[in-house]
Every structure is written in C-alpha cells, then in structure tokens.
Amino acid sequence: MSSILSAAHTRTWLLSTPSTSYALRVGDVGLPVHLHWGVPLTLAQAASMAPYGPAHGIGDGHGHPEEYVVDGGPRFGLSSLQLRFPDGTRPVQPTLLGDKVEEADGAATLTLSYADEHYPLTLDLHYRVHDGCDVIERWCVLRHPSDPPALVTRLDSACWTLPPRPDYRLSHVTGHWGAESQLERVTVARAETTLTSRRGLTGHHANPWVMIDAGDATEDAGEVWSAALAWSGSWRITVDRSPTDRVQVLGGYGHDAVTWRLTGDDCLRTPVFSGLFSADGFGGASRGWHEHVRAHVLPRPDEVRPVVYNSWEATGFAVDEAGQQRLAALAAPLGVELFVMDDGWFGRRLDDNAGLGDWTPNPDRFPNGLTPLIDEVHRLGMRFGLWVEPEMVNPDSDLYRAYPDWVLHSANRARTELRQQLVLNFARPDVAEWAHGWLDGLLREHEIDFLKWDFNRPFTEAGWPSVGEDADRLWIDHVTGVYALLDRLRADHPRLRIESCAGGGGRVDLGILAHTDEVWTSDNTDAYDRLGIQYGFSQLYPAGIMAAWVTDSPNWLNGRAVPLRFRFHVAMAGVLAVGGNLTEWSPAELAEAASLVAQYKEIRPIVQHGRQYRLAPPGAPVTAVQYVAPDGDRSVVLAYRPFPTLGRLPQPLPLRGLDPTAVYRDDATGAEHPGALLLTRGLPLAFPSGDYASTAVTLTRL
C-alpha cells in the first residue's frame, strides 16, 4: 500500500510507496524543503531528519533545497516559477495557506496551497502516490484571479532533488528522424544541462525523461533516480548541478521566449512530472516505469494488441481499392488481425503535395467509398484501420482555400511549408470542432477499428493574430485540444484503437499515452537499426505500446538485407506488425511469415504484459531481451547475433527474474534447466549460420 502521512509538530510529510519513501517539510521561508527520496523510512525517522545542509559560499540562496523554486530572494539558480505582475514586479513571496491529503481510487494526494503575500496569486503543489507503484506524480496549478493579467514566463511542474553522492551521471536519449531513442550516458556537468523541444511536439531528437545515478549503477544494481514529463508539446527538463554539487531536476511545458497571460477565472495546470527511485539499477527503474504506464497511464492496459498489416511501404501513395484488397487477401492467411490502409486514400492525395484537409475518399480510387474495402477486410476475418493526419493541411486543398487563417501563422510573415503542409491551430474551438465532425462522421459511417494518427511536421510561425497578446497560449492549448478530441472520439466509439505517430517516433511521451493505445517507434524499419532504437525506447516505455514492423529486404532506408526470421524476431519484441509488399513475397516467405506470426501469438501476452529484462545491449556479440509473465510461470528470450565471431560459439546467456528453486522446460526442445543455473551459468543458445542470426526461446516453469 502507498500512503501519505504527516507529522504536524514538524510540518513534515512522508510519501510511502511499496519500495521507496519521499519526505518534505515546510521550511522557514514558506515553501517546502526536500528531506529524502530513496529507501523506505518511517514517519518518525522522516520527522527527525534535518534537511540537506545549506550550500557553501556567499550568495548560494536560502541554503536548504526547496521542493519548488520560485523567482525572488537570495535564489540565484534556475527557478521553476517565473512571472511578471501587472506593475512589473517579478519576485514571488509565497505563504502557506493550508494542506490536505485526499484518498480515492487507490491513490493518495497531498496538496500544499500557497498565496503571494501581496498579489492575488495562488499556487497549489500536488503530490500523488498509487497503491502498488513506486512512481510519485507531481504537478501544480497557478491562478491570478485579477485584471490586468500576470505574465508567466516559466511554470515547471516540479523540482526533484537528489541526495548527495560522490558524482552524478545522466542517462537520456537523443537522435533524429530514423534514429530515435539513442541512449546516452554522460557525467552531469557543474552547470545547467537542458533537454528541450521547441517544436510544438515531443520531438525525434530527445524525449522528456532523465535518469541519474552516481556513476556506478548497472543494469541490475545500484541507485537510480528518474523523472518523466507527461506532455506532448514543447517541453524542457533541466538538470542543475551547482558548483557545490547539489543536483536538482526541473521540468515542465513550454520553452524560452514563450509566455502565458493569466487572469480572471483562468488557471494554468501543468502536466504531471513524475519521479521514480530504484535501488535495482536501470533495469529496475525501467520495470517500475513500465508498470506505471500499464497501471496508471494507458486507457486499456490489459488489451492484447493485435497483429497488424500496414500498407504504406507496399504502396506509398499508389492506393486504390483493388490493390488494397490484394494485400488484404495475402495478409489474412499470415494470421494478421488488423489491416491498416495508410496515406493516399482521400482528396487529391496523389503525393504529399495536396489533399491534407479534404478527408473524403478519392472517387477515382474508391468509386464506391471505403465500404467495399472494409467489408472485404472484415470478410477475411480482420479488423480495419485507417491513416489520418487531422492536425495538418496542404495549401493545395479545399480546406485551406476556404479557411486560410485556421493554420498557425504570424502577421506579415511568410508561412513556412514543411513536407508541403502547414499546421492547423487546434487551440481554436472552430478547428477542433471541424476535426471532430469529420472524424466522428467517418467512424459512424464505417466500421473502422483503428486510427493511425500522424503528425509530420513541427510548429513554425506559431502565431494566432486574431487573439493578439494571448497567442502564445496556443503552445499549450493546441496540445490539450488534441487530447480532448482523442478522448471525445474514444468515448463515442469505445472499440476504437489509436496509434500515436509523428513522422516516426516524434510524439512518444506519457501525455499522449494517456489518450492512445500504442506509438509508432520510428519510420526506420531496418531490423538491425531497430535493436538500438528499441533498447533506448525500453528505458522508459513498455513493449506493449511499441509498434514494430517486418518490412521488405533490402530495407528501403539503408539497403541492408536481413533474413526474414531476424526481422520477425526483432519486431516480436514489441507489438508485431507486417509492412512489406506481400505481392512480391515468395510462397516460402509467406509460409515462414505465417509460422512466425503464430509463434508471436503464443508469446505476446508475455511480451506485451510481462516484466522486461535487457540481458545484453546492442553492440554486444549477442543482444538479448527477456520477458517474464506476471505470474512468473513462463518466460520468453529473444536473442540476436548479428555477426558471427570467428572461432567462438555464443556463450550461455544468464537470465533474470526466474525462481532459482524451480525447473524450467524449453518448450521447443523439451530440455529442462534448473532456475539457479539459468540465473548464473545461463541459457545455452543455438543460432543459424550466417549474418543476422536470431532465436526465440520460451521457457515454462514445471
């Protein structure tokens, strides 16, 4: 059980989760100071603790690390709250108004309410813990119920403080289109290290999470502190290491130069910025996040994700009814459960120059609409899905010609086109209502089970001239408008599944996952490259949301030729899909694919819902990942040996997460292995000869 307890005599609060404790206290200057984040404590122990010692040196601030740093007083580091009152005053002087702890639906929430000593400004700091989960959720709500408005220049969700350690190491991911989620580990500099997106979406180049350790953590052991922001627009996370080695992690939405006006009954509610401590290394931290996503983020975490066929790489924009039916007829015998038609089905969408915004079937390609294709897909025993990009418009479209001011734009400035398209302003109620109208109509008129929701370009000229000084609110309101639309569609169409896509993995975060079912990981479908992408992805996100395709060889992006078995085994580490041109696959390839799809269906409950262990990273002679079923009775090992090593056979692979007192049977060979030996000596591996060899092993506890 998780809980929040308080010691009134010291004004101390203790947040307890199954494996960790977090403690804070209201300090002399009003805002809470940080006491502890780590191994479990009792309330008496927390109440007796002194805060971390004051910083050394002149001008280092109030001394004790604050839970939420505001601009003002002798604070010279980065502030989570920065604003300007109507008279030009910048410092904030908060006074505690009260506190309350509420319990509901297996969660406990602490709220600390503050008001400025002079101005009509209130700030609520929120902390929430869930039963059975070590993640702590934090967010804040800011109000200024008076005119004229206050101008907010920064509003972070939370500030996390790390305990003193000899050194600090930062783990995060970086990359670009086609190479998302590349894991990096670097020493934390004595400076402000900021990860950010200024693009209006999460971004391919970074992802809103960090992990920090003392430089000695491994995959299986050591202390790791981590934090992740649930937001799908522009964001920033700053790791601040002072010259005296105090480390704090601040994070929230927005980016420099973007401001928000706050007045009247309005408020700014930040996205959740969650934190997790693990004493079990990076693997333990990842499994903690995976469980949190399944238990407290995803709308339908218990669903078994279907095997998908997507037509994009087979057809590109050359989409028509007959061609899609041919692909569907080949996909069904493979065991595919959901057939998805991608871009090119609507308007004058013959290429990426036109058509976005005109969401009606192309009459030349679908003379009788979508119903005949959908009926045929259903007759073949598959569900039907469709690609859409609701937030975008081509200038060459009927929609843009009718409503040119619906896009993000700035007065007296050119409208930059990327991929020949502009971004619709979903902060506008009329745009959001238009989008709901055609999407709802499409879903009501057709038996559509799945939407692949794409977003292929970032914001530019992100203005809204008709609202003047309030235009910057669109950086927030566009995202919340998208969230609201997704929720509205799901409520009206309960069977609907939605995949978040943004030119590949450009919109992957805990925010979008609260409104969708899975994410497209990368436009790069090369199996060898995917090993690194999936490794970085798994640091925070579970396999059950990671869409992974098997496509043609040689791969369209880099020309690499990889055996079909290797391609399938890599994609089986997530939510399996097929995306190749099946009309060009040989009968032998189709038969092998059907066999591998059947194998995946046997193991997918374990892959999608089990505990994940990264056994060996990309670049090792053998890369491997293991999944253990929630009840511990079955385990799946996917191992990859990209290149043989001359004169050396693969060594047995030590496993994780098994019962050392049990015996496990290899379901394929019937061989029996004591759990203790699998954990220490390892699982013997057998690979086919040649490059890009792989194997999938399923173990059952006897």
- What CATH number is given for 616-701 in this structure? 2.60.40.1180
The reported pLDDT for the residue numbered 125 is: 98
The reported pLDDT for the residue numbered 687 is: 94
Mean pLDDT in residue range 431-435: 98
* Rounded distance between C-alpha atoms, residue 249 and residue 31, angstroms: 17
The reported pLDDT for the residue numbered 74 is: 85
Interval 587-601: pLDDT, tens: 999 999 999 999 999
Return residue ranges of the chain for CATH 2.60.40.1180.
616-701
Mean pLDDT in residue range 212-216: 98
Mean pLDDT in residue range 180-190: 98
With 90 as the cut, is the pLDDT of residue 1 above it? no
DSSP state, 650?
P
Q: At what angle do helices 371-379 and 321-331 cross, to 10 degrees?
A: 10
With 70 as the cut, is the pLDDT of residue 479 above it? yes
For residue 115, the cross-strand partners are: 95, 122
With 70 as the cut, is the pLDDT of residue 59 above it? no
Residue 60's pLDDT band (cuts 50, 70, 90): low
Looking only at the bridges linking them, the beta strands covering 623-628 and 634-641 are antiparallel
* Rounded distance between C-alpha atoms, residue 81 and residue 79, angstroms: 5
With 80 as the cut, is the pLDDT of residue 558 above it? yes
Please name the residue that has the structure tokens 């099946």: 582
With 80 as the cut, is the pLDDT of residue 617 above it? yes
With 80 as the cut, is the pLDDT of residue 53 above it? no
Closest CA to 263 of 372, 110, 388, 144: 144
Return residue ranges of the chain for CATH 2.70.98.60.
53-296
With 90 as the cut, is the pLDDT of residue 284 above it? yes
174 Cβ neighbours under 8 A, 6+ residues apart = 182, 184, 205, 206
* Rounded distance between C-alpha atoms, residue 382 and residue 332, angstroms: 7
User: What DSSP letter does each residue of 229-247 carry, written as one string?
Assistant: E--SSSEEEEEEE-TT--E
Which uninterrupted H or E stretch holds 627?
strand 623-628
Interval 255-264: pLDDT, tens: 999 999 998 8
* Rounded distance between C-alpha atoms, residue 363 and residue 345, angstroms: 9
With 70 as the cut, is the pLDDT of residue 129 above it? yes
- Cβ(389)–Cβ(454) below 8 Å: yes
With 80 as the cut, is the pLDDT of residue 29 above it? no
Residue 650's pLDDT band (cuts 50, 70, 90): confident
The reported pLDDT for the residue numbered 27 is: 74
Please name the residue that has the structure tokens 């109208």: 437
- Cβ(612)–Cβ(631) below 8 Å: no
The reported pLDDT for the residue numbered 649 is: 77
Question: Does residue 72 or residue 531 have the better pLDDT?
Answer: 531
- pTM comes to 0.97
Please report the sign of the dihedral spanned by the C-alpha atoms of residue 550, residue 552, residue 558, residue 561. Answer: positive
Residue 55's pLDDT band (cuts 50, 70, 90): low
The reported pLDDT for the residue numbered 363 is: 96
Interval 339-364: pLDDT, tens: 999 999 999 999 999 999 999 999 99
Mean pLDDT in residue range 287-311: 97
* Rounded distance between C-alpha atoms, residue 456 and residue 502, angstroms: 5
The reported pLDDT for the residue numbered 340 is: 98
Please name the amino acid found at residue 541: Y
Interval 536-546: pLDDT, tens: 999 999 999 99
The reported pLDDT for the residue numbered 54 is: 64
State the number of CA atoms in the 13 A half-sphere of 625 facing the CB. 27
User: Looking at the domain 53-296, which fold is it?
Assistant: Beta-galactosidase; Chain A, domain 5 (2.70.98)
Q: What's the distance, CA 485 to chain centroid?
A: 19
Interval 358-386: pLDDT, tens: 999 999 999 999 999 999 999 999 999 99
The reported pLDDT for the residue numbered 475 is: 97
Calculate the average pLDDT of the chain.
96
Residue 62's pLDDT band (cuts 50, 70, 90): low
Interval 452-475: pLDDT, tens: 999 999 999 999 999 988 999 999
With 90 as the cut, is the pLDDT of residue 169 above it? yes
The reported pLDDT for the residue numbered 504 is: 96
DSSP state, 601?
H
Mean pLDDT in residue range 292-311: 97
- The helix/strand/coil state of 490 is helix
Q: Which residues are catalytic?
A: 454, 523
Class of domain 311-515: alpha beta
Question: Does residue 532 or residue 30 have the better pLDDT?
Answer: 532
The reported pLDDT for the residue numbered 182 is: 98
Mean pLDDT in residue range 152-159: 97
Give the rounded percent of residues in the chain with a pLDDT score beyond 70: 98
Residue 171's pLDDT band (cuts 50, 70, 90): very high
